[in-house]
Amino acid sequence: MTSELKPRPSPLLRLIRHHRLAAAGAFIVVIFLLVGLGADWIAPYDPNRISVRNALQTPNAENWLGTDHNGRDLLSRIIHGARVSMVISFSAVGIAAVIGVLLGNLSAWYRSLEMPIMRMVDVMLSFPGIITALAIISILGPGLENVVIAIVMFHIPQFARLTHGLVLGAKEQVYVLSALAVGSRDSRIMLRHILPNIGAPIIVQISLLIPDAIMTTAALSFLGLGVTPPTAEWGSMLQDSLRWARLAPHVMVFPGLTLMLVVFAFNVFGDGLRAALDPTVGVR
């Protein structure tokens, strides 16, 4: 009696079939990305257009989510806020991933570099992320570029620590030992052999740190240290709404719900992605 091995479904199919909540999160993430990319075309109004006589209007036919205390359309500002959050979070986490993975690779492969790099990483990890961000912003000043730098600085050690452990394990694998035996260069081994085999955990780490970057951006803007007005950003919108929350609660509710929904979507998507990319899940 012969048995045929069934082909293993792709990670995307496994995500949709076995992780419905994560698939829903992925759908919201895609909507978030499309809204951020097309903010100029999707937003019904200029997000910075002030109309004092229309201030604090509740949701209506012209302003679907109402207006803020300056009469600016809330829906338009939330849409443009999605673009700001997307640009900051993706660029910051992407830069941190490149630098952190490089440092983790070098420290694991070259024993002489392990001590200085990993001790520096340990020192950086000993400070809470928001404290690091506040310290950097206090030195550089508020602004979009400085927020990106702050987020990059406290995400680098997380990628470095993860990559260091993954590369240490990969160094003992047969495919690496074989490449060493035939005289392959170190750079070739790291780029062509090790990196593709440790890519899945790094991708998952990126998906889980993007919502953290979005929350950090919102927190800094809420404290007045992030994106400078009048740029639409969810954290600064929440900060502006504090004075008017009792009179017009919609100015706080809609930006807050949007922020919560996007962060939740990224978190459940990251959890599902981790399970879908795990080769031991679903193997029978």
d(CA 248, CA 242): 10
Give a yes or no: residue 10 inside a domain.
Answer: no
Surface-to-core class of residue 119, CB atoms within 10 Å of its CB (0-12 exposed, 13-18 middle, 19+ buried) = exposed
* DSSP label at residue 193: I
Give a yes or no: residue 24 inside a domain.
Answer: no
8 Å CB contact between 231 and 85: no
Instruction: List the one residue out of 239, 109, 255, 81 whose CA is nearest residue 186.
Output: 109
Binned average pLDDT, 10 residues per bin, the chain of 284 residues:
53 64 89 93 92 90 91 94 94 96 92 91 86 87 90 93 92 82 82 86 91 92 86 90 89 94 92 72 42
Which secondary-structure segment (H or E) carries 187?
Answer: helix 186-188
Strand, helix or coil at 73? strand
Q: What is the pLDDT of residue 8?
A: 57
Give a yes or no: residue 15 inside a domain.
Answer: no
Give a yes or no: residue 155 inside a domain.
Answer: yes
Give a yes or no: residue 166 inside a domain.
Answer: yes
User: How many domains does the chain contain in total?
Assistant: 1
Residue 141 makes CB contacts below 8 A (sequence gap 6+) with none
Torsion 54-58-60-62 (CA) sign: positive
Instruction: List the one residue out of 10, 71, 23 whose CA is nearest residue 45.
Output: 71
pLDDT in tens, 221-262: 988 888 888 889 999 999 988 888 888 999 999 999 999 999
Torsion 269-274-279-280 (CA) sign: negative
Q: What is the pLDDT of residue 10?
A: 59
Task: Look up the CATH number of the domain holding residue 252.
Answer: 1.10.3720.10
Q: How far is CA 35 from the centre of its chain?
A: 16
Give a yes or no: residue 284 inside a domain.
Answer: no
> By residue range, what is the domain housing residue 77?
36-277
Q: What is the pLDDT of residue 278?
A: 63
180, amino acid identity: L
Q: What is the pLDDT of residue 282?
A: 45
Question: For residues 52, 54, 56 and 58, what is the CA-based torsion angle, rounded to 10 degrees?
Answer: -170
Question: What is the pTM assigned to this prediction?
Answer: 0.87
Instruction: List the one residue out of 132, 133, 118 whose CA is nearest residue 163.
Output: 118
Q: What is the pLDDT of residue 284?
A: 36
Token digits of residue 60? 């209506």
Which secondary-structure segment (H or E) carries 121?
Answer: helix 111-125
Instruction: List the one residue out of 163, 56, 153, 42 whose CA is nearest residue 102.
Output: 163
